[in-house]
């Protein structure tokens, strides 16, 4: 699961970095931080220091390789990248949805396994933090208002999925929780992107 989420978020993050015209280092950095940023923040909240990413180097290596591959493919297909921008946006949304679902489930499960099974709000919050934390750092690095705060149903999808995962987890087992919660998050995200679902917001007149 962690490897699937890592690859998905690395593709999502590095694609955004490419669209922002960052260099190779920038693309790799943004791709990696999108993949591991949420997990690092989660581990700090759980009291795991240093964060597990530094002992499980393979995850960071895979995120790096994935980001480099995205950069190389984009570098040799610059013209196509511009002409297929809408398709790339759809691809990015899909991988972002898969990453969000995977890491939301992982974050909730790690909180449960760390002795917080009886703390619903904390466990669900760890799912949310793991799912959206890397994306928030990514958007800050590319000088953009965090996606989670402005566009479509994003954090809410993570909250719904993490809550569903937790409720099933305490009454059944994590396999059933995964089978149910992850597809729900992916479906909500993809539908939100397709139909432009947004939470209400206030637009002040100048």
What is the model's pLDDT at position 145?
87
Q: Is residue 205 part of a domain?
A: no
Which is more confident, 120 or 199?
120
Domain total of the chain: 1
Which pLDDT band holds residue 3 (cuts at 50, 70, 90)? Answer: confident
Q: Is residue 200 part of a domain?
A: no
Q: Is residue 36 part of a domain?
A: yes
d(CA 45, CA 122): 10
Q: Across the chain, what does the average pLDDT equal?
A: 91
Mean pLDDT of 107-121: 95
State the Cα torsion 130-135-137-140 to the nearest 10°. Answer: -160
What is the model's pLDDT at position 91?
81
Q: Is residue 204 part of a domain?
A: no
* Closest by CA position to 165, among listed 138, 131, 189, 137: 131
Mean pLDDT of 113-118: 94
Q: Each residue of 155-185: pLDDT tens digit?
A: 999 999 999 999 999 998 899 999 999 999 9
Q: Name the residue range of residue 103's domain.
A: 2-195
Measured in whole angstroms, the distance separating CA 23 from the mean position of its chain's CA atoms is 22
Residue 12 has pLDDT above 90, yes or no: no
The backbone region for 48, taken as left when phi is positive above 0, alpha when psi lies in -120 to 50, beta otherwise, is: beta
Quote helix, strand, coil % in the chain, to nearest 5: 80, 0, 20
What is the model's pLDDT at position 204?
86
Q: Is residue 144 part of a domain?
A: yes
Residue 191 has pLDDT above 80, yes or no: yes
Q: Is residue 27 part of a domain?
A: yes
Mean pLDDT of 104-123: 95
What is the model's pLDDT at position 85?
64
Q: CA-based diameter of the chain, in Å?
A: 53
What is the model's pLDDT at position 44?
95
Q: Is residue 206 part of a domain?
A: no
Q: Is residue 203 part of a domain?
A: no
């Amino acid at each position: 699961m962690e490897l699937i989420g890592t690859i998905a978020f690395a593709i999502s993050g590095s694609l955004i970095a490419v669209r922002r015209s960052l260099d190779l280092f920038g693309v790799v950095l943004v791709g990696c931080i999108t993949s591991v940023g949420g997990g690092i923040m989660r581990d700090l909240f759980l009291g795991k220091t240093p964060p597990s990413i530094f002992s499980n180097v393979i995850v960071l290596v895979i995120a790096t390789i994935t980001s480099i591959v995205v950069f190389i493919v984009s570098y040799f297909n610059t013209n196509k990248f511009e002409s297929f921008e809408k398709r790339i946006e759809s691809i990015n949304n899909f991988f972002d949805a898969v990453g969000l679902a995977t890491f939301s489930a992982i974050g909730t499960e790690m909180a449960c396994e760390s002795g917080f099974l009886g703390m619903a709000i904390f466990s669900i919050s760890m799912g949310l933090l793991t799912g959206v934390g890397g994306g928030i750092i990514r958007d800050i690095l590319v000088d953009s208002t965090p996606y989670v705060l402005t566009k479509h149903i994003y954090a809410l999808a993570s909250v719904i999925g993490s809550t569903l995962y937790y409720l099933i987890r305490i009454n059944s087992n994590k396999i059933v929780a995964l089978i149910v919660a992850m597809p729900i998050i992916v479906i909500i995200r993809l539908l939100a992107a397709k139909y432009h679902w947004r939470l209400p917001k206030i637009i002040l007149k100048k």
